[in-house]
Structures are given as C-alpha cells and as structure tokens.
Amino acid sequence: MPELPEVEYVRERLHGWLRRRRIVACTIADARLVRPARVATVERSIVGRLVERVERHGKWIRLTLDDGRLLFVHLAMTGWFELAESEQALRHERARITVSGRPHLTHVVYVDARRWGRWISSRSDTPTWAHLGPDPLNDTVDPAALRSRFRRSKSRSIKEALLDQTLLAGVGNIQATEALWKARVDPRARASALGDKQVDAILRAISWSIARTMADLARGERGKEDPFLVYGHRGQPCRRCKTALTHIILGGRTTTFCPGCQTK
C-alpha cells in the first residue's frame, strides 16, 4: 500500500518494536524476498545482532545493526509489518524477525500479498539507496536543483518525472496525482517546460499531500473512506471548477486530473 507517508508510518512502528532490541531469530519463508541472495545467508547475517537505527529515505527503509550490517526493506505495492502474538503464521506472512524483549519475545512479521517487496542485507549502502533524490519529508528540497534536473529530461511529462525516485524520493502515483491537482498543473506538461512558480507550487503541494495522508494515518484512518480529492475520482466534478475529472495513462500509470483548471 505504501508511498512515502505509509512507509514513514511503518518505519515509526518498526522503530518502536526493534530499536535497541536483539534479533534472536529470523525466518524468511519466501526466497523471492531476498533474491538473488540466499535465504540462509540473509537470516544468518542479522541473527544475534542489536538493531541500532531504523531509517527511511523515500520508500526504502534501512535498519542499521550493531556490527554495521544494513538491512534494506522495500514494501513495493502490498508489503507491510505487523506484530504477531504467537508462532502462528499470519495471512501472507513472508518473513519474521523475533527480538528479545521485556517481558516477552516480540514477533515482527512481514506480510506481502503480491510478493513484490525486497529485503537486501548489505555491508554498505546499495546503489539504489545512494542514488535516491531528496526526501520531501526529511530533507529540504532545493527547487533550483530540482528544476535543473527537470530540464534535463527532453520529452518526459511532469507526472512521469515526479515518479522518478532519483529526482525526488517517495512520491508515488497517488501523491503525484493529488499534488498536481493541488498545484493546478497539467500532468501532461513537459517537465522541462515548467516555470519556477509551477515547480514551487508542486513542491508545496507534495508537502501538503504527505502531511494530510500522515495525519489520516495518525488518526487511525487506514482503510476508512477515501481521503483523496482526485485520485480514483474520474468522472466526478472537480472540487474547484466542477469540470468532470478525466484520466489518461502516463508512465504506465492511471493519471486522473481536471482538464478545466490544471494547465500547462
């Protein structure tokens, strides 16, 4: 389910469950999760270690262990973490980390219906992590730097550019759709053609959208009625100008927008 706000929510929970705890057991039930590494190798690399840090950049989570070992986790479309009360496997459980605790052992379970998620155990940052763009929640994004990155792409739309994790980390299809509506920018506009004002408006809109989703999560609104203004609302009247929202495919993803008030 996750884009940046959901991944941050997961990170906060993991931090509470794992930080300063010792990993006493790890079972990886799905070899796909760690491919091309071996399940036993990854399990062995983290068992016995203390978890020192749980961090996030974009949609990636990085656990730092007390010997410097790093465990990178990507939730992809349907990855999530839950606490399990017993040895009984949860629905779609793919892996489990058991940590020592007071008073009992804690079973932190990774569930993932579609099995697109990834765990990577490494002694140093992966190239993917190293190449991520600035994180709109953790970092101060430099609008001028972002504009110059946008200008380098010849033909790409702003919608496609926003999904490029090396430009900005953590923005997914929902956040991009919502932010472009909020910023009144046509998703088909060439990224290279955007003016300073538009880029500034998009950055503000991304922060707004992330903050709104995080507030919903904090209120425990997950799975409640849909909080989005345009995503998934094709055919409905635009809340600003009443024009019917339409949709197109950009970068292989459904993109809903208002043809009336989102301009190039």
Partner DNA sequence: ATTATTGTTGGTAG
Partner DNA sequence: TCTACCAACAATAA
Report the relative pairing of strands 51-57 and 23-28 from DSSP bridges.
unpaired
Please state, in angstroms and as integers, the Cα–Cα distance from residue 144 to each residue in 54, 150, 199, following that order.
30, 10, 9
Active site residue 253: yes
Active site residue 2: yes
Query: What is the spatial distance between Cα 168 and Cα 199, in angstroms, rounded to a whole number?
Result: 12
Q: Give kind and range of the element (H or E) at residue 217.
A: helix 196-218
Of 21, 49, 59, 94, the active-site residue reads: 59
Of 19, 149, 253, 259, the active-site residue reads: 253
Which residues are near DNA by CB under 7 A? 1-3, 6, 32, 58-59, 74, 76-77, 92, 113-116, 118, 128, 152-156, 160, 163, 165, 172-174, 252-254
Q: State the nearest-atom distance from the C-beta of 17 to DNA, in Å.
A: 21
Active site residue 59: yes
Q: What φ, ψ does residue 12 adopt, rounded to 5°?
A: -65, -40
Of 3, 43, 93, 160, the active-site residue reads: 3
Of 138, 76, 73, the closest CA to residue 108 belongs to 73
Query: What is the spatial distance between Cα 129 and Cα 131, in angstroms, rounded to a whole number?
Result: 5
Closer CB to DNA, 162 or 201, in the complex: 162
For residue 23, the SS3 value is strand
Q: State the nearest-atom distance from the C-beta of 253 to DNA, in Å.
A: 5
Closer CB to DNA, 30 or 52, in the complex: 30
Q: State the nearest-atom distance from the C-beta of 25 to DNA, in Å.
A: 24
Of 2, 5, 134, 136, the active-site residue reads: 2
Token pair recorded at residue 43: 């399990």
Give the distance from CA 50 to its chain's centroid: 25
Q: State the nearest-atom distance from the C-beta of 196 to DNA, in Å.
A: 21
Closer CB to DNA, 177 or 262, in the complex: 177
Closer CB to DNA, 99 or 172, in the complex: 172
Active site residue 240: no
Query: What is the spatial distance between Cα 95 and Cα 102, in angstroms, rounded to a whole number?
Result: 22
Closer CB to DNA, 45 or 209, in the complex: 209
Token pair recorded at residue 3: 């884009």
- Residues 169 and 163 sit within 8 Å (Cβ to Cβ): no
Q: State the nearest-atom distance from the C-beta of 161 to DNA, in Å.
A: 8
Cite the active site residues: 2-3, 59, 253
